Amino acid sequence: MLRRSEGSALRRRRKTQAGLTLVELIVAFSILLILTTMAVPAARYQVRRQREKALSEDLHEMRAAIDKYKDLCDQGKIQSTDPDTYCYPPTLEIMVEGAKLSNTISGNGQTGKMRFLRRIPKDPFTGDTDWGKRSMQDEPTSNSWGGQNVFDVYSKTMDKAGDGTPYAEW
């Protein structure tokens, strides 16, 4: 009698300890798949928003540096290299290297330099420091740089923002 009760107890234990059925596994994986497909677009949107924010900040920083260069040149505090530049920087690189200051002498008898950018930022969409540039003589919507000066900068990406405006027009 003891053996019969042990056998039936084992059978009952096996039935209660059974794993997930195939249907339960399919339902669980289907739920995970639905949740994943909802999370991926949200993550992509978040990444795009971060890039847009970085692009806006980089453009603002470079444009502010160009404006500061122009103001100091107009005041005669920076030596203008060429009259064709109209006191705008000739390149973005000079904003990092530094522009020669007028009428200043350092302790060793050399003129000083003023830097306007620590580095040329990378475009978050292209991943490159090669920005589109416009000179004062170029058309406002021009995509080619005349090379006389740097009046404005823009992103070279062909992507568009969520509202349909190209990033090159920001």
Question: pLDDT (tens digit, 9 = 90+) per residue, 42-60?
Answer: 888 999 999 999 999 999 9
pLDDT per position as a tens digit, 88-129:
999 999 999 999 888 765 555 456 889 999 999 999 999 999
Using pLDDT thresholds of 50, 70 and 90, give the confidence band for residue 156: very high
CA–CA distances in Å: residue 145 to residues 92, 134, 137, 139: 13, 5, 9, 10
**Contacts for 103 with CB less than 8 Å, ≥ 6 apart:** none
pTM of the model: 0.74
For the chain, what are the domain ranges? 54-158+165-169
Top-confidence range, 54-58, 71-75, 78-82? 54-58
